[in-house]
A and B are shown apart, each in its own frame.
Chain A
Amino acid sequence: MRILIVEDDLEAGSAMQRGLADQGIEAEHAPDGLAGLDLARKGGFDVMVVDRMMPRMDGVTLVETLRREGDETPVLFLSALGEVDDRVTGLRAGADDYLVKPYAFPELIARVEALARRRETGSVNTVLRVGDLEMDLIGRRVHRAGQELDLQPREFQLLEFLMRHAGQSVTRTMLLEKVWELHFDPQTNVIDVHISRLRSKIDKGFDRPMLQTVRGAGYRLEA
């Protein structure tokens, strides 16, 4: 996987580069918007991580320009501002996801991986399969090893998200944003409670637990 980081804070940029390298992800770093645009135009990146405010060309303009030129590489927007309108502006410009600074490293990696993965699975499936877990998206039914599981609508959505990102870490914030559409962190561990209920439904009575907790990051569904 190759990542382009466009970030004017050099220290933050190289920290990001190192952190991604630790995960075996190759990353190039551009120090401002125009340099980022030049590198992006050369192509070959799986995901771009773009800072919002930069000299020479801001992130919104950069993404808008690339999208106009037909470049559909997934973009993760970074911003120190966490306001609603900023997020909306970023996504409207053509970004695919949005992360507010400061972020925890596992959060960044989880989101980058999710974006890269989304690109791979281009085909539209009506049935999702992870190991012996099978989800019928049209019939809204879930089976594990042939045995039907009784899920509430929200549990179904939660499991669908986990299955689409099977093998990757997903963070609590990602789940709150993508499944519940909430853009803040409640103080209470609401997500943990929902995950543990889901876990009891899909793993109880089976030898091998699929829904795993990743320390310091979140959760991962393993085949």
Chain B
Amino acid sequence: MRLPALLRTKPFRLTLLFLALFAAAAAAFLLYIYVATAGEVVRRSQREIDRELASLQTVYRLGGVDALNQEIIGRAVVGGFEYLLRSPDGRRITGTLAASPAEAGDAGWVNFKIELTSPEGGLVRRDGRGREVRLSTGHRLFVGADVGESRSYVVKLVRASWGAGVVVLVLGLFGGVLVSRNVSRQLGGLNRTIAAVQAGDLQARVPVRGVRDEYDEVAEGLNAMLERLERLMGGLRHAGDAIAHDLRSPLNRLRSKLELALLDVEAGRADAGAALAQTLDDVDGLLKTFNAVLAITRLQAAGEAPDQALFDPGELARDMAELYAFVCEDKGLAFDSEITPGLTVRGNREFMAQALSNLLDNAVKYTPEGGAVMLRLRRRASGEIELSVTDTGPGIPEADRARVVQRFVRLENSRSQPGAGLGLSLVQAVAEAHGGRLELDEGPGVLDGRGPGLRTALVFPRA
């Protein structure tokens, strides 16, 4: 037989287990109470009976059997105990009992029944307990007491405890069902989401109730995980599409160039060696493009640069300044650098070096002779680290700045220069892979027919 779904849930089973444990503990507890209370009641009556016996024996020692007889008659009127005094041959002399409940010669404790006449005239039997002692003259004295009153108290106590136990069991069962239903509802949302994800829907999310309990924590953790997975999957898909798309046109260009070269060589218009050398150059260029596209898409897909470490960007800036200072001088550009020492940035040094190198390459490439290039490293008031390159070239019109960082976008006046239009895309990808950004601004402005110039800044978050 299958239990209803609710009763098969883990919380409900846990509730049952807990209730079973509780019942066992309660039973043990009751047993202990019973033993302790009932035992104590009997012991107390026995102590009282012993005291009564002792005081009667004192009367006997002082006044003999007659005095004892008188005393018993007196005390029987007061009540509280049952008495029986017998002669040495076992005949009843005096007392409240008709016969002795004790066996002949037995000095131990005995239980017996006390028969009372109720006010209505009926007969009531009650539990009694007592002991018989042999006096020096051979007479036997029995003293007993009614213990039924105390016993019934214990019985009532036990009954009340059982009742309480049943109430607890019922309440516990009811609570268990409530808790199970609650948990089932929570897990139901979770399970539905997992099933949806398994079925391929990466956009499914676990509902969060906003009460900030453990379920919400699990839900939020799972949602964050799904978020990241979805982004990575999207990134990979995008990377594949992008590479395919980006390389198709350069490959087509290469193919038509090769075709034309072959025609020229066959017609004797061109030298085969030169054509091959040109082709080799073109293929090298294509490979460079391929590597750049791969680096960009990998960075974008991963979301963050690999192997990040803390380092001083000043060192990097000085290295690059040294590398490019002569290049600028060679081209008739003034070069200067302002490097704030002692800064720390977190990142992949090689990617950052390449990004900075791309910015410097651009500055050198597009600034006409007689201009200037400036490399600056500083910390912004916000704590961000800024590596900027400023030139006095033609700059980029504001309307084009967003477009120019896209892959393969080359502005009209840059077509005369070599390049595939990937430099700034890579810089942007590197910046974003470090949680930073690439900023493009106007340079120093128009002066003596130059400018307005371009200011490019790599901005990294504080380490």
Contacts and interface: CB of A to CB of B under 8 A. Distances in A.
Interface residue tally of chain A, by bracket? 20 to 34
Interface string B55-71: 00000000000000000
B365 A187 contact: yes
B322 to A, nearest CB: 6
A102 B364 CA distance: 28
A178 interface: no
Interface in B321-346: 322-324, 326-327, 330
Interface stretch (A9-17, A19-27, A41-49, A81-89): A81-89
B264 interface: no
B350 A187 contact: no
A196 B418 CA distance: 22
Contact of A193 (B287, B330, B357, B418): B330
Interface residues of B, number: 27
Contacts of B354: 184
Given A187-B365, A188-B361, A180 B323 contact: yes
Interface in B351-381: 353-354, 357-358, 360-361, 364-365
Contacts of A196: 330
From B288, B307, B330, B348, residue with most partner A Cβ within 10 Å:
B330
A190 B322 CA distance: 10
B91 to A, nearest CB: 113
A188 B353 contact: no
Give chain A's interface secondary structure class. loop
Contact of A184 (B306, B324, B357): B357
A18 interface: no
A186 B292 CA distance: 12
Contacts of B298: 83
A84 B350 contact: yes
B423 A85 contact: no
Given A104-B284, A154-B322, A184-B350, A82 B291 contact: yes
From A83, A180, A193, A196, residue with most partner B Cβ within 10 Å:
A193
Contacts of A85: 306-307
B287 A102 contact: yes
From A83, A184, A187, residue with most partner B Cβ within 10 Å:
A187
A197 B326 contact: yes
Nearest to B277: A216
Interface string A144-170: 000000000010000000000000000
B306 A187 contact: no
Contact of B307 (A84, A102, A186, A194): A84
Contacts of A82: 291
Contacts of B397: none
A182 interface: yes
B234 interface: no
A183 interface: yes
Given A104-B284, A154-B322, A193-B327, A184 B353 contact: yes
Interface string B307-327: 100000000000100111011
B99 to A, nearest CB: 105
From A104, A182, A183, residue with most partner B Cβ within 10 Å:
A182
Interface string A188-218: 1110011011000000000000000000000
B307 A187 contact: no
B419 interface: yes
Given A190-B324, A194-B326, A83 B306 contact: yes
A84 B348 contact: yes
A197 B326 CA distance: 8
A10 B350 CA distance: 33
Contacts of A182: 319, 323, 350, 353, 357
A84 to B, nearest CB: 5
A182 B360 CA distance: 15
A187 B361 contact: yes
Contacts of B284: 104
A197 B287 CA distance: 30
Given A85-B306, A85-B307, A182-B353, A188 B364 contact: yes
A84 B418 contact: no
Interface in A95-150: 102, 104
B326 A188 contact: no
Contacts of B319: 180, 182
A87 to B, nearest CB: 9
Contacts of A84: 306-307, 348, 350
A76 to B, nearest CB: 20
Interface string B97-125: 00000000000000000000000000000
B291 A187 contact: no
B361 A193 contact: no
Interface in B281-300: 284, 287-288, 291, 298
B327 A188 contact: yes
A193 B327 CA distance: 6
A128 to B, nearest CB: 23
Contacts of A102: 287
Contacts of B287: 102
Contacts of B288: 185
Nearest to A152: B322
Nearest to A102: B287
Nearest to A88: B307
Given A187-B365, A189-B327, 11 more contacts: A83-B306, A84-B348, A85-B306, A88-B307, A183-B350, A184-B350, A186-B358, A186-B360, A188-B360, A188-B364, A194-B323
Kindly list the 4 A-B residue pairs having the minimum CB-CB distance in the complex, ordered from nearest: A187-B361, A193-B326, A184-B354, A186-B357
7 contacts: A88-B307, A187-B358, A188-B364, A189-B327, A190-B324, A190-B326, A190-B327
